[in-house]
Amino acid sequence: MGYLGEIFNKRNQQGRISGDKRKELYTDKQGREIFNNFFNSIEKGYTITIFGLEEQGLKAKHRNGEITKLMLAKAIKVRDGDALIEDLADDVAFELKEGQQPDGNVLQAVAYEYEKQNASENKVCEYLGIVDYTDKGYEITKKSQKVEQYVTQKVVPEILAQRRAREELLAEKDAKRQEQEKERERKFLEDLDARGYVAQMQETMKRRIENPYLRKVGQYKINGKTYEDYDGINVETGDILRIRRLDKIGKDGSGTYLYQGYVHSIPNEDDVEFLDKAVMGIPVCFDLPKRFSDIEIANNPEEIRTVLELLSGAEKYSSRKGLSYIGGIDKNGKLSHNAEPDSLGIANAIKRLTQEYAKNNGNTR
């Protein structure tokens, strides 16, 4: 990390920046002056903060004989109530005349000019101009084309290299963090396995699949409409199958019932349950040859397994773009995951339901 660290740290030798207005001054490893202070310009509705000032190293003698030094700094405009995120600050450059120090009056002029120029331009490093003392106080009234060219050709590439170095360092840290998380997860699972937890859960899942159940766990009304909740077993995975907000839409002329609800699976019965529809589960509709509640009450193992097979496949047969028809069971007990139901009346009802769902909940989830 030697080269990258060297670039990244080049303008950060000042260490931790204090939050007050002390004019503490010292030099970095390149002998450049560092001003360790924050300057806040309080304006109506926002604050302009100037910080991380340093002397860039360039001294220039202008045609009128004045000598200036080039200063670099960070500047950011933050609305009242928002957080100041230093990484979002802009790089700015300006010139100070010989003998000038970047005190509050000077930095007020820098803040004013930054706001004015930042509104129309968005450069890697904004050259603001020369700080001068006028009858109105300190202002930035002019620019040097040569110094601006120097900033473009010399300073900007350095700043871009620093940004790339920072991005690479952050990416490296993120990759390391992810690797550490994976390692912690692996050790956690190893520990669980060593205590027999994994084997115990596998045995539990196997028993559930071999002996599935379907139980009504609640009935309630929302805006005058009756809904039911059921728990069952996902016969594909052995997880607990939660069937929530089940709504009997109606039946067609042949006695086929259409249902709408939400389905999702969890490993344990006592896991936290979210009641918001956005995370309640996969929105589905399906048809049955009899009432869902009658199947649960009859407790016929074959019928219950067929219903659970239909709902356990919800994720595979859902389009995941709103409410999906996942299939049904005919009067002979045959399960079908057809894209379209056999009944025209059911098909029309499903079309209406999907349109209503998209209108009320959006087209995606």
Q: Which of 149, 170, 191 finishes a domain?
A: 170
Q: Based on the domain organization, do 355 and 295 belong to the same domain? A: yes
Q: Based on the domain organization, do 222 and 141 belong to the same domain? A: no
In a domain, 189, yes or no: no
Q: Based on the domain organization, do 133 and 86 belong to the same domain? A: yes
Q: Based on the domain organization, do 16 and 160 belong to the same domain? A: yes
In a domain, 218, yes or no: yes
In a domain, 22, yes or no: yes
Q: β-pairing, 335-336 with 24-27? A: unpaired
d(CA 96, CA 114): 15
Domain ranges, residue 233:
208-361
In a domain, 203, yes or no: no
Q: Based on the domain organization, do 356 and 227 belong to the same domain? A: yes
- pLDDT digits 0-9 by tens, 245-285: 999 998 888 889 999 999 998 887 776 666 666 567 889 99
d(CA 168, CA 13): 19
In a domain, 192, yes or no: no
In a domain, 178, yes or no: no
Q: Based on the domain organization, do 226 and 342 belong to the same domain? A: yes
CB atoms < 10 A from the CB of 1, how many?
Answer: 10
Which candidate, 54, 266, 286, 281, places its Cα nearest to that of 155? 54
Q: What is the DSSP string of 314-340?
A: HHHH--SSSSEEEEEE-TT--EE--SS
Domain count, the chain: 2
Q: Which of 145, 170, 195 finishes a domain?
A: 170
For each successive 10 residues of the chain (365 residues), what is the average pLDDT?
Answer: 40 34 47 60 81 86 89 88 82 90 88 77 82 87 90 90 88 88 82 68 87 93 90 92 93 90 85 66 92 94 94 82 88 84 86 87 53
Q: Based on the domain organization, do 336 and 225 belong to the same domain? A: yes
d(CA 233, CA 153): 68
The pLDDT value recorded for residue 277 is 63
Q: Based on the domain organization, do 144 and 249 belong to the same domain? A: no
In a domain, 183, yes or no: no
Q: Based on the domain organization, do 31 and 151 belong to the same domain? A: yes
Q: Which of 111, 145, 170 finishes a domain?
A: 170
In the structure encoding, which two tokens stand for residue 358, read together?
């998209």
Q: Based on the domain organization, do 153 and 11 belong to the same domain? A: yes
In a domain, 182, yes or no: no
The pLDDT value recorded for residue 147 is 92
Q: Based on the domain organization, do 222 and 329 belong to the same domain? A: yes
Q: Based on the domain organization, do 245 and 157 belong to the same domain? A: no
d(CA 46, CA 78): 5
